[in-house]
Amino acid sequence: MEGPFLNLMYDVIYILAALVAAAIIAYLKKKLGTEKLQQIETELLAKQELAFLSVRFVEQVYKDLHGEEKYNKAAEWLAARIQERGLKITPDEVKGLIEAALRTLKDEFGEAWAKQVK
């Protein structure tokens, strides 16, 4: 009697150990995934804020520049600030962030922005 009962107990222990291990692995994957998503979100927010600052900076400092020259100054400033913070950015990201910041600022300030730029 002890043989089959003991074997059954070992089987139950093995199954429970496997379930606990699977649950721990799932939890760790979820936790690490959540942390990675939070890191990505934090980096994106930092990049967006720096893009807004780059557009404002260029509008204030380089009033005599227009179009592509102004964009290039904003792109240089943004890339430099991001690099200072140890983040990475591609040229496409720079362009997208600057364009998004510019659109948001134009939408927020409307006519005042148009008068300022002229």
Mean pLDDT by 10 residues, the chain (118 residues): 73 81 82 79 90 92 89 93 91 90 82 61
What's this model's pTM, rounded to 2 decimal places?
0.66
Could you give the C-alpha distances from 77 to 23, 48, 58, 89, in angstroms and in order? 47, 13, 9, 13
CA dihedral over 97, 44, 53, 100, signed as positive or negative: positive
Predicted local confidence at residue 112, as pLDDT: 65
Whether 54 and 83 have beta carbons less than 8 Å apart is answered as: no
State both tokens at 70: 């102004």
Q: Give the burial class of 45: count Cβ atoms within 10 A of its Cβ; 0-12 exposed, 13-18 middle, 19 or more buried.
A: exposed
